[in-house]
A = this chain, B = another copy of it.
Amino acid sequence: MSKPYVLGIDIGGTNTVFGIVDARGVVLASSSIKTLKHTDFNAYLDELYTEVHRLLEANDAVDKILGIGIGAPNANYYTGMIEECVNLPWPMPLPLAKMVSEKFGVPVAITNDANAAALGEMTYGAARGLRDFIMITLGTGVGSGIVINGQLVYGHDGFAGELGHTIMRRNNGRLCGCGRTGCLEAYCSATGVARTAREFLEIRDEPSLLRDIPIDSITSKDVYDAAVKGDKLAKEIFEYTGNMLGEAFADFTVFSSPEAIILFGGLAKSGDLLLRPLRESMEKHMMPVFRGKVKVILSELKEADAAVLGASALGWEAGKANAAPNPVAVPAAQQIKE
C-alpha cells in the first residue's frame, strides 16, 4: 500500500495533539501545538501544517497519508463544520474539514471527540468486532458515541449521541451546562462527582476525609483518593454515581440493545469503586429481556494515545471514501447534506 498511514488530529481547548498512525493502531510519532495561540485560524493552520510536516519528514511518511481524521468539540461529520464552540478561539462557523483538506491536499473527515473515541475503540480497541456498542466518556462532561450495525450514529443533523444530556432527575434536578436541569452529565461527570461530594458533605454530619479539603476545591480525584483510603462517605459518592449510571445504561439498552457499553475517561479508572455499583444497578434496573446481556467494559486504548487514535480512525474512512466513493464514508468536506 503506497499510503499506509493516517493522521489523527485531536483539537482540544488547550492543546492540539496529532500523530501518524498505521493500520494496526500503532502511533508512529506524535506531537502537539497550542490551540489557543492563534485567534486567526489561518495562522493556526499554518503552524499545524509546519509541525505536521516536520513529523512526517522525521518519520519518512511524507506522501504516505491516506486520510486525516479530526476530533474537535461540536465538529459535525456531515457538514465538516464547527458551527459554534465557546472553547475554541476562532470565528465561527468554521469550515474545518474543507480548510484542512485544502491545506494538506488529503481527504479529511471530522467529528466530535466522543464519536472519535468510539471509532478508535472499534478500529483498534475493546470494540473490535462489535457491531452494536455505546462508548461513554466520563470526563469533565459525559460524552457518548453510539455504534449501531457497525456504523457511528450521527442522526439526521450530525448531532446524535448526546447521552450525557439524558434527563435522570425530572424534579429538582441539578442545573446542567446545556441550560436544562437533571441531565446525567450534571451527576456522573468528574464535575458531577465533585458536586455530589459537596451535597453529601453539606447535608450530612458524619466524619469524612473530604472535610479536610476546602469544600469548593474538592475534585473527583479527591473523592477517589478518600474512597481508596476507606472513607465511607467517599465510597457512598461512588455508589450514588454508579447507581445513576446503571439506571441510565438500562434505559440506553431499550433503545439500541448494545452488546457492550465501553467506558473511557478519568472516572472510568476508578475501578470497582464505580464499576461494582454501576453493574449491579444496571442489572437491577434492566428490562428483563436484556438482563445479563450487556457487558460494561473499559477502553483498551492507552489514555495518552486515545484521542489521536480515535481521530485517526476517521482518517481511514475519509481516505477509503476518496478511493471508492460510498455515501456513508464520503469525506465530510465533500459531502452534501441530504
Contact = CB atoms under 8 A, between A and B. Distances in A.
Interface of A: 130-132, 146, 148-149, 151, 153-163, 165-170, 178-180, 247, 250-252, 254-259, 285, 287-290, 293, 328, 338
6 pairs of A and B residues whose beta carbons are closest in the complex? A155-B257, A160-B257, A156-B259, A162-B254, A132-B156, A165-B287
A189 B289 CA distance: 20
A8 B271 CA distance: 51
Contact of A251 (B131, B167, B288, B289): B167
Contacts of A151: 148-149
A115 to B, nearest CB: 12
Contact of A157 (B148, B167, B255, B257): B257
13 contacts: A132-B156, A146-B256, A148-B151, A149-B149, A149-B153, A154-B257, A155-B257, A162-B255, A166-B255, A167-B247, A167-B285, A170-B170, A170-B247
Contacts of A153: 148-149, 255-256
Nearest to A293: B157
A131 to B, nearest CB: 7
B256 A162 contact: no
Contacts of A255: 146, 153, 160-163, 166, 252, 255-256
A156 B285 contact: no
A180 B285 contact: yes
Contacts of A156: 130-132, 257-259, 293
A138 B165 CA distance: 25
A252 B256 CA distance: 11
Given A153-B148, A285-B167, A328-B149, A290 B159 contact: yes
Contacts of A259: 156-157
A256 B154 CA distance: 7
A157 B163 CA distance: 21
Contacts of A148: 148-149, 151, 153, 155
Contacts of A131: 156, 338
A333 B289 CA distance: 22
Given A149-B328, A153-B148, A155-B132, A178 B288 contact: yes
A156 B149 CA distance: 8
Contact of A167 (B154, B162, B250, B258): B250
A155 B260 CA distance: 11
A252 B156 CA distance: 13
Chain B CB within 10 Å, residue with most, of A163, A170, A254: A254
A336 to B, nearest CB: 14
A128 to B, nearest CB: 13
Given A155-B132, A159-B290, A178-B288, A165 B254 contact: yes
